Amino acid sequence: MALTDTAIRNAKPQAKPIQLTDVDGLHLLINPNGSKWWWLDYRFNGKCKTLSMGVYPDAPLEMDGNAG
């Protein structure tokens, strides 16, 4: 199920980091200090990799497509 901006804003930090999963390997990691990081899991040459995509809300859930 895809994440919504409301669900992200309402997510509260826990004692341990938690993940809110979106689609196609994208997930949001919520740390105990309240920071929210976007991570993308993908495969390259048969190996699982993880890429940090930025911090929410600086990197929002939806982009308007008008970069630049």
* 62 inside domain: no
Name the residue range of residue 16's domain: 5-56
Q: Tell me the CATH number at 37.
A: 3.30.160.390
pTM (predicted TM-score): 0.77
Q: How far apart are CA 65 and CA 55, in angstroms?
A: 19
Q: Burial letters for 24-37: b for 16+ Cβ neighbours within 10 Å, e otherwise?
A: eebbbebeeeeebb
In a domain, 65, yes or no: no
What pLDDT tens digit does each residue of the chain (68 aa) get? 678 888 888 999 999 999 999 888 889 999 999 999 999 999 999 999 999 988 988 777 665 444 44
